[in-house]
Amino acid sequence: MTIMKIILSGGGDSKYFNELDKHFLSLMPQNPNLLLIPLAGEPDTYGDCLERIVDTFSSIHFENIDMCLEINDLYWDYIKNFDAIYIDGGNTFKLMNEIRSSHFYELLHRFLHNEKVINGDSAGALILGSHIETAHFGLCGDENRVDLISYQGLNLLGNLAIHCHFNAKTDEKEIIKFVKTYGFNVLALPDSSGVSIENGNIQVHTKTPAYLFNGLKKIQIDKNSNFKI
């Protein structure tokens, strides 16, 4: 049975994710190769993104980290050489617009089913779910500046939509309305919350819990607890 391995983080500072990052590294072989996708950000941020990833995952040799700036150039015989793909944050709609013009979904799906790892932060996490309207929610909501029409996500997590930068005071009513309207469950991640999803099990690896809006219920998932989706 193929075990899908996905890491999701809420978009906060890297200091919150030390244990999550260790778990991410533990899912890969020694001396792994990492592909970085920074395309949710603006071009002038790509260098800083690479520097941050190199610093965060210092056990990965610099020469083993590649950064993709043209998603249309990706093909299977290239990405199969990587052990993980890291999709960084930024504007969700910009990122999805880039993906829609490529075969990236098919590549990601094949990548997962070859027991590789996908790590998504903020916008990079949100696109992996069933729907990206959740990117609009809250004070940190993204603007759809690229006039993206379809809000369908990449559906790598079944019926689950992802919401990052979660703040209960400002976001909870919007999430509940979304669940009622679309029938999708929502995994809400505060800035300092991060999870792994392996074989349908959600596990929190941060002090800050994650929250699952499952129908009309809000379920708190605490550190080191498991929840089956």
Domain range annotation of the chain: 5-219
- The pLDDT of residue 107 is 96
The span from the CA of 134 to the CA of 8, in Å, is 15
Q: Is 91 exposed, middle or buried (0-12, 13-18, 19+ CB in 10 A)?
A: buried
Q: What is the pTM of this model?
A: 0.96
Higher pLDDT, 45 or 2: 45
Half-sphere exposure of 65 (CA within 13 A, CB side): 20
| Cα–Cα dist 203/197, whole Å | 6
| CA distance linking residue 60 with residue 53, whole number of Å | 10
Q: What is the pLDDT of residue 196?
A: 97
Q: Considering the chain, what is the average pLDDT of its residues?
A: 95
CA-CA distance, 206 to 16, in Å (whole number)?
7
pLDDT at 1 over 50: no
Residues 134-150: what's their mean pLDDT?
Answer: 95
Superfamily the domain 5-219 falls into: Class I glutamine amidotransferase (GATase) domain (3.40.50.880)
Residue 216 confidence (pLDDT): 79
- Which residue did the predictor score with more confidence, 77 or 199? 77
> Does pLDDT of 2 surpass 60?
no
Length of the chain: 229
Q: pLDDT by residue (tens digit) across 36-92?
A: 999 999 999 999 999 999 999 999 999 999 999 999 999 999 999 999 999 999 999
Residue 197: per-residue pLDDT: 96
